[in-house]
Amino acid sequence: MTFEPITGRYLTVEVAGAPRRIYVEEAGQGRPVLCLHTAGADTMQWRHLMNDAEVTKHHRLIAFDMPWHGKSLPPKGFETEEYRLTTELYIETVLAVADGLGLERPILAGCSMGGRIALQLAALHGDRFSGFIAIEASDFQQSWYDIDWFHRPDAHGGEMGAALVSANISPYAPAEERWNTLWMFMSSGPGVFRGDLWFYTRDESLIDRLGQIDTARTPVHILVGAYDLTCTPEDAKRTAAAIPGATVSVMDELGHFPMSEHPAGFRPFFVDALARMQAPVVAD
């Protein structure tokens, strides 16, 4: 029997004035990389990179399930609450987890809504991190779906959500990982995907903040899959162009969940992104 190198533990942090029990996974040693999952999913999306010995040789990859997701509980009283993620709540959660883990200026790697909040953090709390890998990340775009489809009493939101987001998976993705990726959406809690999309599809505040990002102190590299219908290469390029010094790579055979849907295809892009996270020396 051989265990994977990933270990999982629970951490309780305070968010919005109340405790949140957060599930955290990690693997590796060296420079910390805090990894954020997409809407409607969980840390499983990062397992391939966390099991990659070459990646974890010099990087400590840490991923956590946002409250309401995966093995992190929703807050007390959730049964009467409508879950709606906001920029403020998301930022507070990421910073609380980073503080709770005692991370000193980690690299922040986030995908989709995780990429969006990575750019928000780059603009508002850039000094807390040493670089940003923003995957399938953009300033803002109108949704091409109705978020209310995904939380209704007469149909299974998870199965609908999975069928919808399959539009964002590349045809080059191996079938096994396509379905493993979709499984996370199928099994997410009721209203969770909708609540994440509330943040992702309605908050335009990043657009005016992109110019504040100081890439001389904290590099920003954006990765985008050509098969991503939600954050298209055009969306990512427009976003990168608004951040002085940001770089962008288009991944021709990947979609919206690259680290999960096609691990082998994504690996070289992620390794390249890590190599770009060396900030130039800035005199204080």
Task: Tell me: does residue 153 bind another protein (CB under 8 A).
Answer: no
Which of 7-15, 124-132, 194-202, 222-230 is the region at the interface with another protein (rule: CB under 8 A)? 222-230
Tell me, residue by residue from 60 to 99, as one string, x for binding to another protein by CB under 8 A and - for no binding.
----------------------------------------
Q: Which of 4, 9, 144, 211 binds another protein (CB under 8 A)?
A: 144
Ranges of beta strands (E only) in 17-58 are 18-27, 31-36
Task: Tell me: does residue 160 bind another protein (CB under 8 A).
Answer: yes
Task: Tell me: does residue 170 bind another protein (CB under 8 A).
Answer: yes
Minimal distance, residue 15 CB to another protein, in Å: 32
First to last CA, the chain: 51
- Which amino acid is it at 87? T
Is 67 or 157 the residue whose CB approaches another protein more closely? Answer: 157
Q: Which of 171, 280, 281, 282 binds another protein (CB under 8 A)?
A: 171
Task: Tell me: does residue 164 bind another protein (CB under 8 A).
Answer: yes
Task: Tell me: does residue 176 bind another protein (CB under 8 A).
Answer: no
Closest by Cα among 198, 91, 88, 182 to 143: 198
Backbone angles phi, psi at 43, to 5 degrees: -60, -20
Closest by Cα among 22, 44, 192 to 93: 22
Is 155 or 216 the residue whose CB approaches another protein more closely? Answer: 155
Task: Tell me: does residue 249 bind another protein (CB under 8 A).
Answer: no
Minimal distance, residue 187 CB to another protein, in Å: 14
Kindly state the number of chain residues that form the binding site for another protein, as judged by CB under 8 A. 18
For strands 18-27 and 59-64, give the pairing: antiparallel
223 Cβ contact list (under 8 Å, min separation 6): 133, 134, 135, 136, 236, 248, 249, 251, 258, 269, 270, 273
Query: Which parts of 11-70 interact with another protein (CB under 8 A)?
Result: none
Minimal distance, residue 66 CB to another protein, in Å: 25
SS3 category, 191:
coil
What is the C-alpha to C-alpha distance for residues 166 and 183, in angstroms, rounded to an integer? 11
Task: Tell me: does residue 172 bind another protein (CB under 8 A).
Answer: yes
Closest by Cα among 261, 68, 38 to 151: 68
Contact 132, 122 (CB under 8 A): yes
Interface contacts to another protein, rule CB under 8 A? 144-145, 149, 154-155, 159-160, 162-164, 166-167, 170-172, 226-227, 229
